[in-house]
Chains A and B, each alone.
Chain A
């Protein structure tokens, strides 16, 4: 189980195997190259050729360095932080040095001194490491944990009090059903109060969703129909907790409750390639699914996806005339395996 200290965004030494980290490095280095071209060449017509020239030198080095760093990521992370950072800088500088010697041996490069590209590479890597450390500090574990806890604890009060009211109504006539409902309610709240850094299995999240629907069915009766379509997917797959439940709650609140006849909520969970697709669709009732409550829930999940997966997960919304669908697409693995 990944602990909160191992979210990709919270370690000062970035996860070199994360797509978002790679993208940031590529962008950062290319922006620096572009800036260098602007500084070196005074007339605008020369900027692009100079940049292309530089890119030809920088890009192979960059890709080589990223590949190497991805390979030794775990080794680097086991070192003390300062040593790890130093190792990264030395690695990049050394690569630049070696590459320049190699070019020279082929006769491509005429700048006699291989130290200059090495020093430039060292400078660039120091800047980027500094950026990643600042970014990690912005997402510092304590802060991230507090935020996650706040985000997790968002079970609608409306739902809580209506459920309690329904349970009270059951106690005299159907005590056993009341007991079952209270048990489900306590499971839901236990899940909401769990350590937000712990991943839970897909099977557990689905079970939680089913319990949630049981409670809603007490109140809404036949107005609420649910259609689970679970494709071939490993139910042991770890996912961040309470990804599904807030979306189910939104679907009930915006898609079922405003309609006197009710409707069907469709949930499909399947694996496509090495991605896990979770889609939740509810009938569009015309009742403001653009309302602020819904926006907050969606923004919360986006934020949590970014904390757990950086750029490797996404959330899509498809608002049609007939239905409203939210899709979460996650990589099929633990965030740091």
Chain B
């Protein structure tokens, strides 16, 4: 980063007063460490949208935010060619703070002291890349489940796919596709990983298919000896049928019944 330029900062917090407070102390330390607040965002989704079109050096991100929290936001940063360094802020998340200490991740406790902010910003240049294992376990602790969104690159653009809208995941040779009512997205994910992350929401129908429990509309037996599938699952909202393997036939039907 060129030293002549100011450090560009994005403040991410759902509380306007908390964002305001960070702005104030950034002004207070401007003599020692001049910075420029290039934007504010109310949650992770808004922050990612901002990052699409703006260059940012450091992001100050709250851990708990509605829509998309700071932990998940950090996990999606890898999708950018030059991701900003991230410094977490939190009022009280004991579990996260302990994990940050162990893994040398920088964080600030709210209310934030100007001196602490200064030290964190001075170190922020050399922020190590996010540790995905750590973020996944913190995510489970903070929001009690998997990520709320998945990343999809399309012609150089970053798209966010809300997991709540996904009807099924299907693995092809190289990619996993996520299907929503409107369209399909190509993801850079593995089916096994998705299955364990969203065990409550999706069930496996077939070696290559995970379906949202709520999307299941019915089942039909395959005619004759179909090598590809033992039966087919019908879905709400989309016309296509999904193959069900012999092994998953009974558990899948049990989900519908329950």
Contact = CB atoms under 8 A, between A and B. Distances in A.
Interface of A: 156-158, 160-162, 164-166, 168-170, 172-173, 218-221, 257-260, 287-288, 291
A161 B42 CA distance: 19
A288 B111 CA distance: 27
B109 interface: yes
B64 interface: yes
B42 A287 contact: no
Given A158-B91, A158-B92, A259-B66, A166 B43 contact: no
A169 B91 contact: no
B18 A169 contact: yes
B253 interface: no
Contact of A161 (B20, B43, B91, B145): B91
B170 interface: no
Contacts of B237: none
B15 A220 contact: yes
B110 interface: yes
Contact of B17 (A160, A169, A258, A291): A169
A287 B148 CA distance: 11
Q: How large is the interface on B (under 10, 10 to 19, 20 to 34, 35 or more residues)?
A: 20 to 34
24 contacts: A156-B92, A158-B93, A160-B92, A161-B92, A161-B109, A161-B110, A162-B15, A164-B110, A165-B15, A165-B110, A165-B112, A166-B15, A169-B17, A169-B20, A169-B21, A218-B17, A219-B17, A221-B16, A259-B66, A260-B42, A260-B43, A260-B66, A287-B143, A291-B144
Contacts of B144: 287-288, 291
A219 B15 contact: yes
A161 B21 CA distance: 13
Interface of A is mostly: helix
- Counting chain A CB atoms within 10 Å of each CB, the highest count among B24, B42, B66, B93 belongs to B66
A165 B43 contact: no
Query: Which 9 pairs across A and B sit closest by C-beta, in order of nearness?
Result: A169-B21, A161-B91, A169-B17, A157-B92, A288-B144, A166-B17, A165-B110, A165-B111, A162-B91
Interface in B38-69: 42-43, 64, 66-67
A192 B93 CA distance: 22
Contacts of A259: 66
Nearest to B22: A169
Interface string B22-36: 001000000000000
A155 B16 CA distance: 23
Contacts of B14: 257, 260
Given A165-B110, A257-B14, A260-B14, 19 more contacts: A157-B92, A160-B91, A161-B109, A165-B21, A166-B15, A166-B18, A166-B21, A168-B111, A169-B20, A169-B21, A169-B24, A172-B24, A219-B15, A219-B18, A220-B15, A221-B16, A260-B66, A260-B67, A291-B144
Contacts of A173: 20
B24 to A, nearest CB: 7
A287 B67 CA distance: 11
Contacts of B17: 165-166, 169-170, 218-219
A221 B14 CA distance: 10
B146 to A, nearest CB: 13
A168 B24 CA distance: 10
Contacts of A168: 21, 111
- Which of A160, A165, A172, A288 has its CB near the most chain B CB atoms (within 10 A)? A165
A287 B142 CA distance: 10
Contact of A257 (B21, B64, B109): B64
Interface in B69-124: 91-93, 109-112
A52 to B, nearest CB: 44
A287 B110 CA distance: 23
B96 to A, nearest CB: 12
Contacts of A288: 143-145
Most chain-B Cβ atoms within 10 A of its Cβ — which of A158, A164, A169? A169
B84 to A, nearest CB: 22
B111 A164 contact: yes
B24 A165 contact: no
A260 B43 CA distance: 8
B92 A165 contact: no
A165 B18 contact: yes
Nearest to B45: A260
Nearest to B112: A165
Contacts of A221: 16
Contact of A165 (B42, B66, B91, B93): B91
A258 B66 contact: yes
Interface in B128-179: 143-145
A257 B91 contact: no
B111 A161 contact: yes
A190 to B, nearest CB: 21
Contacts of A158: 64, 91-93
A156 B20 CA distance: 23
